[in-house]
Amino acid sequence: MSTRATIAVRRADGFYDAVYLHYDGYPDHTGAILMQHFANQTEAQTLVRGGDLRCLQRETGEPEYFADGNPTAMMPTIAALIEFARNCGAKYVYVFEDGTWSCKEF
């Protein structure tokens, strides 16, 4: 069984770039990896620009992207981002904005 999540980064123009994460989306795994390996705007943007994720490796933070996954989605509002996450079946939504990660559980 997988714990799905959405990972998003708020851009300077206020839009959100978002991707689906299939495995291990819980805070003790994904939350910890995001804070350790993707702790600034550039690193977070680079992560989501790769498109949908299968998983993030615990030790290295290395992303494993789906070979046939969807590209990064662009959301105009937080409400649109939440709807995107729900449509993905996400249990958690991680958002990088103002220099830090936040997490919302559904």
pLDDT tens digits, one per residue of 37-91: 999 999 999 999 999 999 999 999 999 999 999 999 999 999 999 999 999 999 9
Whole-model pTM? 0.97
Rg of the chain on CA atoms, in Å:
12
* C-alpha dist (Å) from residue 92 to 5, 16, 25, 41, 88: 5, 16, 7, 20, 10
Cα separation, 74 vs 28, in Å, equals 27
Domain ranges of the chain: 5-105
Q: What is the pLDDT of residues 6-27, one digit of tens each?
A: 999 999 999 999 999 999 999 9
Between CA 49 and CA 52, with CA 50 as vertex, the angle to 5 degrees is 110
- pLDDT score at 22: 98
- pLDDT score at 10: 98
Whether residue 1 has pLDDT greater than 90: no
